[in-house]
């Protein structure tokens, strides 16, 4: 156990973990939105994220993105990557719901059928991209080259880490305000709490469901851009392990709770970095799921367990 390395550079490892966990949190929000309204675990959401990473690569390729393009073009590439990734992931999420889940809802299919369908869709999407794009790692230019944004003591915060964490917090705050303060958000909370009563009050359940898939997809696309900035590559199965960890983050924070998804994602990222520092990087995945089990033993509903339908007005 390398305690000297961990506690000697605790601030640095915490910053690294927060930037990693912010990506988990954005993807976890998609799981939380769908579960909060439909009580459905949408395992295809991990591949919605994967589609977003390839959309970012494709957008940058079309625009001729290069390493260290200069401030003006860097902003253009980042905004274009955000729009491309969000639109691709959002469209994929809506298509998944319209093509598969909508029909199952109309047939009153049991929950197990939804779960099997979600797993099947996940495999179809990942393997389709494996055949189309190849099964090797796909690199991309360093549109935002890493440099130190500022230093606090011995802790260096890079520009990439700053962009990732601030972007995730801003998008989380925007989603929280949308759900709690807007008319469409009230519709989402109404359907989550009691879909039959909501329908009697004039809420269109079908539109609400399509909206939550769209929102989850848009956030997954944004997470895809942040992932590309942090890691600089993607692959056809990039969503598998990240999706599992994002789902773990949602459960850890309290699935169905938006702020819980953010807390769970950030906590999970920090735990992984701490574990990798104490031991080796091979143990970070083990540590993440061990923490989940321990927390659920004492808090079965997660750290902030509360249904979406009971969110504050």
* Range from 52-66, 84-98, 135-149 carrying the lowest mean pLDDT: 135-149
Give 179's contacts (C-beta < 8 A, 6+ positions apart): 185, 188, 189, 258, 308, 311
Half-sphere exposure of 58 (CA within 13 A, CB side): 13
- Length of the chain as a residue count: 313
Q: What is the pLDDT of residues 222-237, one digit of tens each?
A: 999 999 999 999 999 9
pLDDT by residue (tens digit) across 130-146? 999 889 999 999 999 88
Q: Residue 158 pairs with which residues in a beta bridge?
A: 148
DSSP 97: I
pTM greater than 0.75 (yes/no): yes
Is 288 a residue whose pLDDT tops 90? no
Residue 308 pLDDT class (50, 70, 90 cuts) = low
The model's pLDDT over 17-56, given as tens digits with 9 standing for 90+, comes to 999 999 999 999 999 999 989 888 899 999 999 999 999 9
pLDDT surpassing 80 at residue 293: yes
Enumerate domains of the chain plus CATH numbers. Answer: 3-310 (1.10.3470)
User: What mean pLDDT comes out for the span 156-163?
Assistant: 93
pLDDT in the model for residue 313: 37
Q: What is the mean pLDDT of residues 199-218?
A: 92
């Amino acid at each position: 156990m390398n305690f000297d390395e961990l506690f000697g550079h605790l601030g640095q490892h915490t910053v690294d973990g927060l930037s990693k966990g912010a990506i988990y949190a954005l993807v976890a929000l998609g799981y939380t939105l769908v579960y909060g309204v439909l009580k459905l675990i949408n395992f295809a959401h991990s591949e919605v994220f994967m589609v977003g990473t390839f959309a970012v690569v494709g957008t940058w390729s079309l625009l001729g993105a290069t390493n260290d393009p200069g401030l003006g073009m860097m902003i253009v590439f980042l905004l274009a990557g955000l729009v491309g990734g969000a639109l691709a992931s959002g469209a994929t999420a809506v298509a998944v719901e319209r093509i598969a889940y909508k029909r199952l809802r109309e047939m009153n299919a049991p929950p197990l059928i939804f779960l099997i369908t979600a797993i099947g869709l996940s495999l179809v999407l990942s393997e389709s991209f494996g055949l189309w794009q190849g099964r090797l790692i796909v690199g991309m230019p360093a549109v935002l080259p890493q440099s130190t944004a500022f230093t606090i003591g011995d802790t260096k915060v890079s520009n990439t880490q700053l962009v990732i964490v601030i972007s995730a917090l801003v998008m989380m705050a925007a989603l929280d305000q949308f759900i709690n303060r807007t008319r469409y958000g009230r519709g989402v909370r109404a359907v989550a709490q009691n879909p039959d009563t909501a329908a009697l009050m004039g809420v269109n359940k079908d539109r609400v469901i399509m909206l939550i898939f769209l929102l989850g997809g848009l956030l997954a696309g944004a997470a895809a851009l942040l992932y590309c900035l942090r890691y600089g590559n993607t692959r056809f199965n990039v969503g598998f392990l990240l999706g599992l960890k994002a789902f773990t983050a949602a459960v850890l924070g309290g699935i169905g709770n938006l702020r819980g998804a953010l807390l769970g994602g950030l906590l999970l990222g920090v735990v992984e970095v701490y574990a990798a520092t104490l031991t080796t990087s091979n143990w970070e995945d083990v540590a993440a799921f061990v923490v989940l089990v321990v927390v659920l033993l004492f808090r079965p509903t997660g750290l902030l367990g509360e249904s979406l339908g009971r969110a504050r007005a």
